[in-house]
Structure 1
């Protein structure tokens, strides 16, 4: 198998953007697909020993995601990138529509972040006043989301979703 070496700054930039976008989607296990597969009727179940349901996880993921997306869109006015964690107080959605609307909103926000990452005009590596970069925000988003999507997947398996 022949490998290809990326050599120019433009090629490296394009490769980084492509890989970040792929990982933000969830890589081999796309986040939106997993959320859409999760049975709404089980979204509010809290297993013994856990302080969250799938609904709480989705709310927590979205809150952190919105903070990081706002930083990426306007870093000068959104420099508090790691405020206290938001954990929704209600553990279940009020309706299937609310569940689906939250997933739709997550997908729109994710698409917006991916568009920023993929846009060659977006400076991913400019260090902001808080010492962070847009690439840091994208990588933090994918790490944070991946962690909690793993929890959601585990909860789903325990509840018989998958």
Structure 2
């Protein structure tokens, strides 16, 4: 028979794996994406790698803020943020944006790993912290897939 503590630990481990990107780690893919191609918008698309990174990070940040302060951060799904500029100004800006995404991702991972954090308590807005983590990996995974497709078209991979 499996104990509740064992199930809780297993769920936390699986959430962490998925938050980091599973078999295709998010930060590794972002770091592999060439800076000189980060601003390219392919015909028919409304985003570049830079825009995708900004969009993913904005949503991650919103959900992280909810996880850190669920009572005070009720609106967890505001209008989507899409950066207006389609390319980073410098390679340093590109790398700093990846660093910031990674830092927020790891902060969320730390919350998920902390057994003192109740992932399943229903918050005032009807959501749980586990919902926020799952929404993050689902949203990030979707856009990382787009980034990977764009990167293949641009010869990154």
**TM-score higher than 0.5:** yes
Report how far residue 99 of structure 1 moved: 0.1
Task: Give the corresponding residue for 2:111.
Answer: 116
Tell me the number of residue pairs that the alignment of Structure 1 and Structure 2 aligns. Answer: 157
- Normalised by the length of structure 1, the TM-score is 0.96
Deviations 1:58-105 (A, max 9, x none): 000000000000000000111101000000000000000000000000
- Normalised by the length of structure 2, the TM-score is 0.99
Report how far residue 38 of structure 1 moved: 0.2
| Superposed CA RMSD | 0.6
| Structure 1 residue 83 corresponds to structure 2 residue 87 | no
Counterpart CA distance in 2 for 1:130 and 1:138 is 15
Counterpart CA distance in 2 for 1:51 and 1:135 is 31
Q: 1:107 aligns with which of 99, 102, 105?
A: 102
Task: Give the corresponding residue for 2:42.
Answer: 47
Report how far residue 34 of structure 1 moved: 0.1
Q: Which runs of 5+ in 1 are unaligned?
A: 1-5
Task: Give the corresponding residue for 2:88.
Answer: 93
Q: Which runs of 5+ in 2 are unaligned?
A: none
Task: Give the corresponding residue for 1:3.
Answer: none
Counterpart CA distance in 2 for 1:71 and 1:96 is 31
